[in-house]
């Protein structure tokens, strides 16, 4: 049997197997910490930073991503403080301004409390979450695509920006891609940097359920495995 350790997340004492990340431990116990770049059962990047939590150590709080933080006996974690909510909202705002053209990103932004976006929209095709890269190199071991370049030139391509010979066209990459989800029909254009009213009405109920799984509308291949039954009939 796997050894277990006790951690405290938002006041709840949780017994989690050694080696598990705080994010997985929380999700397993119904505490929904928002996340985007995570791919279940594959090593985490810590790229989207949405799953940040406050880790209390020696009386001092440190902001860190829960997906890269491994459970340790006696750890104290706060996932939903005012500070975390503010920081998470700012990150989500940056993300949605980059790609308002994806339902997944819209959902995450809404989930993190973004109402108005203070940056001009960009409608990028990729938010560099790396889900495709990790399924390709991590689970399938193919290494057909990867992150290339750096900074603003960073992109996901195959060597020399051509189609890789290693690609078996399994399609996992596009299944996991948040950008393949058709956005809602709200005002998603430059100059109308808001989320639609539909999202806003959901926001009210979310505010009352913070910290719990709200079964947000991530599409096929994207769902966190918490409530698979809710995704059998995807609402459009």
Partner 1 sequence: MNKIHSLDRLRNFRQGIIDQRKKFAATMIICGGTGCQASRSKDVIEAIQNELASQGLTEKVHVRATGCHGFCEQGPILVIEPGNIFYCHLTPEDAQEIVSKTIQKNEIIERLQYKDPVSGNRILTEAEIPFYRAQNRLLLSMNRLVNPGDIEDYIAIGGYSALGKTLAELSPDAVIQEITAAGLRGRGGGGFPTGKKWTETRNADGDEKYVICNADEGDPGAYMDRCVLEGNPHLVIEGMMIGAWAVGAFKGYIYVRNEYPLAVKNTRIAIQQARDLGILGENIFGSSFSFDIEIARGGGAFVCGESTALMASIEGKVGEPRAKDVHTAVDGLWHKPTTLNNVETWANVPAIIHNGSAWFAAMGSKGSKGTKILALTGHIKNTGLVEVEMGTTLNSVVFDIGGGSSDGKAVKAVQTGGPSGGCLPVDKFHLPVDFDELYAAGSMIGSGGFVVMGQNTCMVDVAKYFLTFLQDESCGKCVPCRLGIDRMLEIVTDITEGRGKPEQLDLLEELGATTSETSLCGLGKTAANPALSTLRYFREEYEAHIHNKKCPAGMCQALITYQIDSETCTACGACMTACPYKAITGEKKQIPTIQLELCQKCGICRSECKFESIQVN
Partner 2 sequence: MPQTTLDTILDGRRSQPHQLIEVLQDVQAQNGYISEEAMRAVSKELGVTLLEVYRVASFYKAFSLSPRGKNVITVCTGTACHVRGAKLLINQATAQIGVETGKMSADGLFTIENVNCLGACALGPVVTTNTDYHHHMSPGKMRKLIKSYQKNNKEEAANE
* Binding residues for partner 2 (CB under 8 A): 143-150, 153, 158-160, 164
Q: Which does 158 bind (CB under 5 to 8 A by kind): partner 2, partner 1, none?
A: partner 2
The single residue among 42, 56, 76, 87 that binds partner 1, judged by CB under 8 A, is 87
- Told to check if 119 binds partner 1 by CB under 8 A, we report yes
φ and ψ of 65, to 5 deg: -85, 135
Q: Note whether 89 and 65 are within 8 A (CB).
A: no
CB neighbours of 30 closer than 8 A, spacing ≥ 6? 212, 213, 226
Rank residues 70 and 166 by Cβ distance to partner 2 and give the closer one: 166
> Token pair for residue 184?
């809602």
Dihedral (CA of 158, 182, 93, 108) sign: negative
Kindly identify the residues of this chain, within the stretch 6-65, that bind partner 1 according to CB under 8 A. Answer: 45-50, 52, 63-65
Picked from partner 1, partner 2, none, the partner binding residue 97 (CB below 5 to 8 A depending on kind) is partner 1
Q: Is 150 near partner 1 (CB under 8 A)?
A: yes
Closest CB 159 distance from partner 2, rounded Å? 4
CA distance 120 to 176: 27
Partner from partner 1, partner 2, none contacting 164, C-beta within 5 to 8 A by type: partner 2
Closest C-alpha among 50, 74, 18, 62 to residue 218: 50
CA distances to 72, 77, 83 from 62, in Å: 15, 10, 11
* Residues in contact with partner 1 by the rule CB under 8 A: 45-50, 52, 63-65, 68-70, 86-87, 90-91, 94-95, 97-98, 118-120, 127-128, 147, 149-154
């Amino acid at each position: 049997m796997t050894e277990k350790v006790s951690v405290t997340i938002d006041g709840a004492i949780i017994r989690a197997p050694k080696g598990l990340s705080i994010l997985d431990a929380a999700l397993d116990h119904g505490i929904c910490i928002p996340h985007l770049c995570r791919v279940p059962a594959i090593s985490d990047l810590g790229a989207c930073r949405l799953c940040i939590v406050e880790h209390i150590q020696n009386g001092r709080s440190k902001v860190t991503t829960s997906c890269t933080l491994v459970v340790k006996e006696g750890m104290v974690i706060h996932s939903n403080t005012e500070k975390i909510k503010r920081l998470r909202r700012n990150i989500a705002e940056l993300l949605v301004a980059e790609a308002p053209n994806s339902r997944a990103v819209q959902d995450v932004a809404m989930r993190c409390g973004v109402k108005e976006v203070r940056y001009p929209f960009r409608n990028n095709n990729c938010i560099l979450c790396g889900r495709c890269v990790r399924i390709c190199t991590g689970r399938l071991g193919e290494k057909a695509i990867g992150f290339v370049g750096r900074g603003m030139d960073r992109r996901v391509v195959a060597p020399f920006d051509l189609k890789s010979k290693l690609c078996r066209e399994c399609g996992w990459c596009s299944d996991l891609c948040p950008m393949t989800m058709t956005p809602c029909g709200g005002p998603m254009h430059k100059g109308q940097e808001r989320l639609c009213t539909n999202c806003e009405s959901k926001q009210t109920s979310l505010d009352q359920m913070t910290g719990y799984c709200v079964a947000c509308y991530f599409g096929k291949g994207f769902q966190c495995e918490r409530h698979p039954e809710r995704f059998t009939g995807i609402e459009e």
